[in-house]
A = this chain, B = another copy of it.
Amino acid sequence: MPPTEDLELALRGAALRVTRPRLAVLDVLRGHAHATTDEVLNDVRDRLPEVSHQAVYDVLRALTAAGLVRRIEPQGSVARYEVRVGDNHHHLVCRSCGTIADVDCAVGSAPCLTPAEDHGFVVDEAEVIYWGLCRACSAAPPVLPTLVTTPERGTR
């Protein structure tokens, strides 16, 4: 059982109760960036076999609301979560296999960009998703060697 004292501190710092499901979820996410709810559930059950899926949903929502985890939801993917927060980094997403990689923000702190025209909006964050093909998929294209630009699903 790895030390989870820092996780406990993180929870207390966010005024959240310290529970085993919450510690487990944080610990899982620490070792598995961009995990889906389902993946989190499975990994958590390796440690706490009895947790309900609802508990994981609740925990992820609480942690997200508290700012301890970030929820990302790229086109066509289910929700994914990561513990890397507060640095406003961005994501590279592979159109073919769905792999996600982190990219440091090119500009600085949030909002790292400001829109050309803000239409009266008060902007607090710029979310950037870079779409393309990961190294493996661009080396061995699945079906069409050309036409990378086509919004093809890789979702099947």
- Residue pair B148, A121 in contact (C-beta under 8 Å): no
Interface residue stretch chosen among A18-26, A29-37, A40-48, A125-133: A125-133
The chain B residue with its CB closest to the CB of A111 is B130
Q: How many residues of A contact B (CB 8 A)?
A: 46
- Residue pair A124, B116 in contact (C-beta under 8 Å): no
Tell me, yes or no, whether A5 is within 8 Å of chain B by CB. Answer: no
Q: How far is the CB of A155 from the nearest CB of chain B, in Å?
A: 11
- State the CA gap A113–B132 with chains docked (Å): 13
Tell me, yes or no, whether A106 is within 8 Å of chain B by CB. Answer: yes
- State the CA gap A108–B113 with chains docked (Å): 14
Number of copies: 2
- Residue pair A152, B121 in contact (C-beta under 8 Å): no
Tell me, yes or no, whether A13 is within 8 Å of chain B by CB. Answer: no
CB-defined contacts of A115 to chain B, threshold 8 Å: 90, 92, 103, 106, 130
- Residue pair B106, A121 in contact (C-beta under 8 Å): no
- State the CA gap A129–B91 with chains docked (Å): 12
- State the CA gap A123–B129 with chains docked (Å): 10
Q: How far is the CB of A15 from the nearest CB of chain B, in Å?
A: 13
Residues of A whose CB lies within 8 Å of any CB of B are 64-65, 67, 71, 73, 75-76, 90, 92, 94, 101, 103-106, 111, 113-135, 138, 148-153
